[in-house]
Amino acid sequence: GQQVQQSPASLVLQEGENAELQCNFSTSLNSMQWFYQRPGGSLVSLFYNPSGTKQSGRLTSTTVIKERRSSLHISSSQTTDSGTYLCAITNAYKVIFGKGTHLHVLP
Amino acid sequence: AQTIHQWPVAEIKAVGSPLSLGCTIKGKSSPNLYWYWQATGGTLQQLFYSITVGQVESVVQLNLSASRPKDDQFILSTEKLLLSHSGFYLCAWRQGGTEVFFGKGTRLTVV
């Protein structure tokens, strides 16, 4: 089965609403990262967060290793937040991605 | 200065033709290196990883090969391209069990 599962698969918001993206993993890891994938394909690293909570501007990431989950919270969404958000877990030699959450923020 | 550089940015190649994609890491000693591939609308899949010069491990077989001829260089290649090789290729690096950093990628179209 899939080792990294993201939910929801897609999300449509009105500008100003908050978003909660989830990542659940079924295997052990030594780190967790969240990325934003640009329409052209390149990745922007949002958080490297193996455990605990980290915040950057309107984005907050929380990883709870014991429960094998991580979340990405986007507050006061903007149209420029639209795109694909990916979570990835890493162990010694692999970086395993989820299928992503496709976020669309309406003006 | 950019730490990781991928080339070319984009390629259009014919089925059956050879391919070579490159990745260079600057200013880092003995990084772990990775190649990823993403079909249009698909999930990012790890293809290869390398922890040292001359050693490359395959994760997913896609009729591609990889080599690490220098500490700072990672090459992805094939002698005969298939239509199914089309997609987006990303190179990445990291040191120790820390954050992974990605290049800007190569868009490959096989016609």
Neighbouring CB atoms inside 10 A of A80's CB total 8
Closest CA to A11 of A19, A1, A3: A19
Interchain CB distance below 8 Å, B100 and A33: yes
Better-predicted residue by pLDDT, B96 or B106: B106
- Best interface-test mutation with B: which of A5, A35, A43 has the largest number of B CBs within 10 A? A43
* Average of per-residue pLDDT across B80-87: 97
- On the question of pLDDT at B92 being above 70, the answer is yes
pLDDT of amino acid B52 = 94
pLDDT bin (cut points 50, 70, 90) of residue B89 is very high
Q: Give the model confidence (pLDDT) of B51-76 as tens digits.
A: 999 999 999 878 999 999 999 999 99
Which residues lie across from B41 on neighbouring strands? none
A91: left (phi over 0), alpha (psi -120 to 50) or beta: beta
**Dihedral of the CA atoms B56, B71, B76, A42 (nearest 10)?**
110
Asked whether B62 and B85 are in contact (CB, 8 A), the reply is yes
Residue type, A106: L
Question: Taking CB atoms and an 8 Å cutoff, what residues of chain A touch B88?
Answer: 41
Residues above pLDDT 70, as percent of chain B = 97
Question: Taking CB atoms and an 8 Å cutoff, what residues of chain B touch A40?
Answer: 105, 107
Whole-number Å distance between alpha carbons of B37 and B63: 13
Tokens of A9: 């698969």
Asked whether B78 and B85 are in contact (CB, 8 A), the reply is yes
Whole-number Å distance between alpha carbons of A84 and B65: 29
Q: Give the model confidence (pLDDT) of A69-96 as tens digits.
A: 999 999 999 999 999 999 999 877 888 9
pLDDT of amino acid A39 = 86
- Given CB atoms, is B9 within the 8 Å cutoff of chain A? no
Q: Give the model confidence (pLDDT) of A36-69 as tens digits.
A: 999 889 999 999 998 899 999 999 999 998 899 9
- On the question of pLDDT at A2 being above 70, the answer is no
User: Count of CB contacts below 8 A, A vs B?
Assistant: 53
Whole-number Å distance between alpha carbons of B81 and A67: 43
Closest CA to A100 of A75, A79, A72, A77: A72
Average pLDDT, chain B: 94
- Given CB atoms, is B104 within the 8 Å cutoff of chain A? yes
Q: Map tokens 């259009």 to a residue.
A: B12
- Given CB atoms, is B44 within the 8 Å cutoff of chain A? yes
- Nearest-CA distance A51 → chain B (Å): 12
B104: nearest CB among A42, A86, A95: A42
* Average of per-residue pLDDT across B24-33: 92
Q: Give the model confidence (pLDDT) of A4-45 as tens digits.
A: 999 999 999 999 999 999 999 887 766 889 999 998 899 999
pLDDT of amino acid A93 = 85
Whole-number Å distance between alpha carbons of A89 and A69: 10
pLDDT bin (cut points 50, 70, 90) of residue B84 is very high
- On the question of pLDDT at B7 being above 70, the answer is yes
